[in-house]
Amino acid sequence: MTAVARNNVKIQGQGDHAMIFAHGYGCDQNMWRFITPAFQKDYKVVLFDHVGAGRSDLTAYNRNRYGTLKGYADDVLEICRELELTRVVFVGHSVSAMIGVLAAIAEPDRFDKLVLIGPSPCYINDGDYVGGFSRGDIDGLLDSLDSNYLGWSSAMAPVIMGNPDRPALGEELTNSFCRTDPDIARHFAHVTFLSDNRADLPKVKTPSLILQCSRDVIAPEAVGRYVHQNIVNSQLVVLKATGHCPNLSAPEETIAAMRLFL
């Protein structure tokens, strides 16, 4: 099976260079629908679903391959090779920000720029490092998710989205979580929330934009500043947008920051 088929790759736009969008946990490529039209005139826009999400081929899910974020980064590189993409602008939301970091470290010549939206290299507090959660917090979150995934999704998705005055946003994320295969979602959650990619950040040579939301319960501002401090050629923009999903809650502000960087 090709990576294009496995990951349900869709191509839009007419530019000479590619912009590939990678969605976050519990989501799929549809989460970019407010962002991508702004770039279709200037870029070949490449959308895909991580294996286990959206309309990807669920039979391709392998717990060993996807037992670390490297497996997902390998998928990104396979898509790029099959489509012969070079000078790629990679846009990654949440956990996919670190997936893009790993891909750019592995094949730096393939990537022109990275846009990292709500990135976190490590979710767990460690000494002076503020990840936003204690190990007990993460263990409790994962235990709750393991025991009742649908209940966890209904409770957590609105919290992750933020913007309680716009409940439709939380409902969309809840529905997206609930469409994901529960077994795969549980495994991906463990891989996501227990990952630690802090040591990888100084290896990034690709110019990077870090988009940090205000009042983000998943990736607090201290995390965005840490990523900025540890990726040498990076810019940090703190958005007025709140919550963890500005691609849905504040697409115009997100697009404006991306355009300025690009």
Active site residues: 94, 216, 244
Burial of 136 from C-beta contacts in 10 A (0-12 / 13-18 / 19+):
exposed
Closest among 15, 29, 9 to 82, alpha carbons compared: 9
Report how far residue 111's alpha carbon sits from residue 178's, in angstroms, rounded to the nearest whole number.
Answer: 33
Report how far residue 183's alpha carbon sits from residue 158's, in angstroms, rounded to the nearest whole number.
Answer: 21
> Which are the contacts of 149, defined by CB distance < 8 A and separation ≥ 6?
182, 185, 186
Report how far residue 23's alpha carbon sits from residue 94's, in angstroms, rounded to the nearest whole number.
Answer: 8
Which H helix or E strand runs over 44? strand 43-47
Tokens of 78: 């396979």
Which H helix or E strand runs over 221? helix 221-230
